[in-house]
Amino acid sequence: MLFRIHRMKETARDSFRWAAHTSGCAVVKLKDYEPAGEIEAVGAYAAWTSLRNTERPLETGDVLEDEAGVLRIAKYIGFETAQWWVPEPRPAIPAATGQAGVDTNSTGTDLSAVRS
């Protein structure tokens, strides 16, 4: 199985180290990671074992992504499942009532005076 390695940036790693341990699926932000190549291994622990005596072993907070897109985050207790954080879409702004023909932008600001 081929795993993509995502290394946690040091700024995020400091916060991760001191955060309370939570069990279950971890939610991770792509902005906190840098791609760091790939490794062929039969599983996450085999990948960890293969990398542990190299110049760049997996560290707490690093993520392995398998071919199916399943994420596993390295924690002090081992690997746990993870998922990328996906922001919720902004809610649609309802059309203003009683103001037919008023041109507004995505924040609801009246643009009629700007476009004259």
Predicted pLDDT of residue 19: 77
Kindly list the strands in the beta sheet with 71-75, ordered across the sheet, starting from the edge strand earlier in the chain.
26-28, 78-84, 71-75, 63-65, 2-8, 33-40
The pLDDT tens digits of the residues spanning 10-64 come to 989 888 877 777 778 889 999 999 999 999 999 999 999 999 999 999 999 999 9
Is a pLDDT exceeding 80 seen at residue 97?
Answer: no
Cα separation, 19 vs 116, in Å, equals 54
Q: Is 108 left (phi over 0), alpha (psi -120 to 50) or beta?
A: left
Asked if the structure places residue 49 within a domain, the reply is yes
* Best CA proximity match to 57, nearest among 1, 100, 7, 111: 7
Number of domains observed in the structure of the chain: 1
Residue 73 belongs to some domain of the structure? yes
Query: Does residue 6 sit within a domain?
Result: yes
pLDDT the model gives residue 3: 98
In a domain, 15, yes or no: yes
- Per-residue pLDDT tens digits for 50-90: 999 999 999 999 999 999 999 999 998 899 999 999 888 88
**99 occurs within a structural domain:** no
